[in-house]
């Protein structure tokens, strides 16, 4: 392999490399020369700049300090305030994992402590954050990955060899096209296949939660055996819900996404299976296949540039929509074409996230969502919306009522928590079940939150999620809250009152005019949420035993529109304005049919380029 030869020529004579392996697009070398291991930084930097390949030098097991001794050494070197919760070893990778509540203190000023651990133990430290709220999901994912190291080492090497092999088709014969397997003129089952002369990459693979529709797996553009890589924008089910199905049906390739997206995908897909089982619907895959997806996930940080096939280079950047949510940028060929797929995007700051990134060098084809793409879809500003929200909550509390906020488990509920904590709200906020799990995942990845929230967490020690107003409620404790007269806020799923605990709270709160129902998210046509938004004064509700009764709606109903995780019309247009260079085409997806077509038509007038709102099963040639 020429890469290994190139590497050898650039390494010092006494590097004493015992093993050279790919780790996906990166190269990993194991050395048995402790001096070289300690002082390899300059060599590594020069190789990276020369060969344009990331490499990492790791210790061969023969030079690593004995684990028990190394553990003691680390405990000596790291200050107590770092609150180390676990130290364990991954000898196959030459790594020691240090889990700590304050990773910054394990790294030390200018990386000093990190360097000393490395130099004195001859283990490569890998520092992980212990979530501020214990998370079963984060724990399970970390345990799984730890137990699968031998498998992953082989898997990542195999992927690396494939990525680094020469492309099948030469430069002047290259082509690229996209086909829509879902998410065309609809919100749901987002899925797009990118085919080039050399590779096949699947972008998102979601379900339509409302109708249970899946992507068009019977399309001629979908051949599971030909997929080289899957890239996931974020963990909402309309983007990730069908990914485990791939692994259930023989796909064994990589899944690229951020670490928080991986963890939240696990939470939401597990729940998707549970709900389907409970409601007697078709169960598309076993939970084992969700694990299999995790086993094949290659987690990338924002801004990390990675080759994912012989001719496609991937970069994820923040999309402002959800924890870990990403814009997907794909550089095809050697400058042949650049595609940007927004997934779901918020081009404006929220409490939890900075606005979507625009820092790309080139974009020729943009695939953009249009959930709020119609010219009438304008939202009030965030500050006004937040004020409106707090005024409504406080007004209800003052008159002794309770506020019910139906919300998806991930996304708006954490935004609402941050708003309440940020406004020093003093009354109890009750939260049930999955909301708590997803909040716990947020506390494992504070570096994915907005600069503003990070400042509060890291410099002021104020974590919005651990404020003591937030009370976890188990389903069996629900009645206590329903019966109590204490004013407060309930955040519960589901977000559109289709089912879940939110409906139970609604039934109990509805007759009392002191209470309030407060919507912060999108309510789809046909849902109980949309009807109440329209002002229905009584609604049919099924009681136990399946009997339907009429429930009087006396509580106040309000919607605060400006807290959405999606961009409004103005923000979508402004996002496109802020992208660099001249776009060749804009493809509009992820919106109700009329919104997609209206946005595509107007974008054509504004940006004077080809625009299209593709239908499902349509294909577009890029090059």
Residue numbers at the binding site for Zn ion (CB under 5 A): 236, 238, 344
Q: Decide whether 58 or 236 has the Cβ nearer to Zn ion.
A: 236
Q: What are phi and psi of 541, to 5 degrees?
A: -135, 135
Q: Which helix (H) or strand (E) holds 107?
A: helix 103-107
Residue (of 184, 179, 285, 191) closest to 233 by Cα position? 191
Q: What are phi and psi of 402, to 5 degrees?
A: -115, 145
- Strand, coil or helix: what is 136? helix
- Whether the bond into 517 is cis, omega within 30 of 0: no
DSSP single-letter state for residue 233: -
Q: Decide whether 122 or 268 has the Cβ nearer to Zn ion.
A: 268
Nearest distance, CB of residue 411 and Zn ion, angstroms: 7
Nearest distance, CB of residue 386 and Zn ion, angstroms: 21
Nearest distance, CB of residue 237 and Zn ion, angstroms: 9
Nearest distance, CB of residue 344 and Zn ion, angstroms: 4
Nearest distance, CB of residue 573 and Zn ion, angstroms: 19
Nearest distance, CB of residue 308 and Zn ion, angstroms: 22
Nearest distance, CB of residue 238 and Zn ion, angstroms: 4
Q: Decide whether 320 or 333 has the Cβ nearer to Zn ion.
A: 320
Q: Decide whether 312 or 434 has the Cβ nearer to Zn ion.
A: 434
Place of tokens 């035993």: 545
Nearest distance, CB of residue 327 and Zn ion, angstroms: 13
Q: Decide whether 152 or 412 has the Cβ nearer to Zn ion.
A: 412
Q: What are phi and psi of 255, to 5 degrees?
A: -120, 120
Q: Which two tokens stand for residue 73?
A: 């050494």
Q: Decide whether 64 or 355 has the Cβ nearer to Zn ion.
A: 355
End-to-end C-alpha distance for the chain, whole angstroms: 31
Q: Decide whether 71 or 236 has the Cβ nearer to Zn ion.
A: 236
Q: How far is CA 484 from CA 155, 396, 432, 508, in A?
A: 55, 15, 16, 11
Inter-residue long-range contacts of 574-577, CB under 8 Å, 24+ positions, other chains counted:
574/347, 575/342, 575/345, 575/347, 575/356, 575/358, 575/368, 576/366, 576/368, 576/603, 576/606, 576/607
Q: Decide whether 487 or 565 has the Cβ nearer to Zn ion.
A: 565
């Amino acid at each position: 392999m020429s890469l290994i030869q190139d590497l050898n020529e650039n390494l010092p004579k006494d590097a004493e490399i015992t093993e050279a392996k790919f780790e996906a697009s990166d190269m990993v070398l194991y050395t048995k020369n402790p001096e070289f291991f300690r002082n390899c930084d300059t060599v590594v930097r020069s190789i990276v700049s020369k060969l344009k390949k990331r490499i990492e030098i790791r210790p061969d097991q023969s030079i690593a300090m004995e684990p028990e001794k190394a553990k003691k050494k680390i405990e000596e070197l790291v200050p107590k305030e770092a609150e180390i919760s676990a130290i364990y070893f991954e000898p196959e990778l030459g790594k020691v994992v240090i889990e700590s509540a304050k990773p910054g203190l394990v790294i030390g000023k200018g990386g000093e402590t990190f360097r000393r651990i490395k130099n004195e133990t001859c283990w490569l430290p890998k520092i992980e954050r212990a979530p501020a709220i214990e998370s079963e999901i984060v724990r399970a994912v970390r345990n799984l990955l730890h137990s699968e190291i031998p498998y992953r080492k082989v898997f990542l090497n195999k992927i690396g060899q494939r990525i680094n092999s020469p492309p099948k088709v030469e430069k002047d014969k290259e082509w690229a096209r996209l086909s829509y397997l879902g998410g065309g003129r609809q919100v749901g089952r987002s899925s797009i296949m990118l085919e080039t002369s050399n590779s096949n990459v699947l972008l998102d693979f979601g379900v339509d939660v409302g109708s249970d529709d899946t992507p068009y797996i019977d399309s001629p553009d979908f051949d599971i055996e030909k997929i080289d890589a899957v890239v996931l924008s974020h963990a909402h089910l309309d983007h990730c819900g069908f990914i485990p199905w791939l692994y259930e049906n023989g796909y064994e390739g990589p899944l690229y996404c951020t670490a928080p997206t991986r963890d939240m995908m696990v939470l939401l897909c597990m729940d998707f299976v549970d709900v389907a089982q409970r409601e007697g619907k078709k169960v598309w895959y076993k939970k084992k296949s969700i694990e299999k997806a995790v086993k094949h996930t290659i987690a990338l940080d924002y801004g990390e540039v990675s080759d994912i096939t012989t001719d496609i280079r991937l970069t994820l950047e923040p999309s402002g929509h959800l924890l870990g949510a990403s814009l997907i940028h794909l550089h095809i060929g050697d400058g042949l074409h650049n595609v940007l797929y927004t997934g779901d995007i918020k081009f404006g700051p929220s409490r939890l996230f900075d606005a979507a990134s625009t820092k790309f060098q080139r974009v020729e084809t943009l695939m953009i969502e249009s959930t709020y793409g119609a010219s009438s879809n304008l939202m009030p500003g965030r500050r006004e919306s937040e004020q409106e929200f707090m005024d409504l909550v406080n007004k209800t509390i003052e008159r002794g009522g309770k506020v019910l906020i139906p919300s998806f488990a991930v996304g708006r509920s954490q935004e609402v928590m941050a708003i309440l904590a940020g406004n020093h709200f003093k009354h109890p906020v009750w939260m049930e079940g999955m909301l708590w799990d997803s909040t716990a995942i947020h506390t494992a990845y504070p570096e994915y939150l907005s600069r503003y929230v990070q400042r509060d967490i890291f410099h002021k020690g104020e974590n919005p999620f651990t404020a003591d107003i937030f009370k976890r409620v188990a389903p069996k404790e629900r009645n206590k809250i329903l019966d109590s007269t204490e004013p407060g806020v309930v955040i519960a799923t589901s977000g559109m009152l289709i089912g879940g605990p939110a409906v139970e709270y609604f039934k109990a709160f509805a007759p009392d005019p002191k209470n309030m129902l407060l919507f912060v998210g999108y309510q789809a046509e046909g849902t109980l949420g949309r009807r109440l938004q329209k002002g229905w004064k009584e609604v049919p509700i099924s009681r136990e035993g399946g009997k339907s009764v009429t429930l009087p709606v006396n509580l106040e109903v309000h919607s605060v529109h400006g807290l959405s995780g999606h961009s409004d019309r103005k923000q979508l247009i402004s996002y496109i304005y802020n992208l660099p260079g001249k776009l060749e085409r804009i493809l509009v997806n992820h919106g109700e049919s009329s919104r997609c077509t209206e946005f595509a038509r107007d974008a054509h007038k504004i940006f004077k380029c080809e625009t299209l709102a593709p239908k499902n099963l349509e294909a577009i040639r890029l090059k």
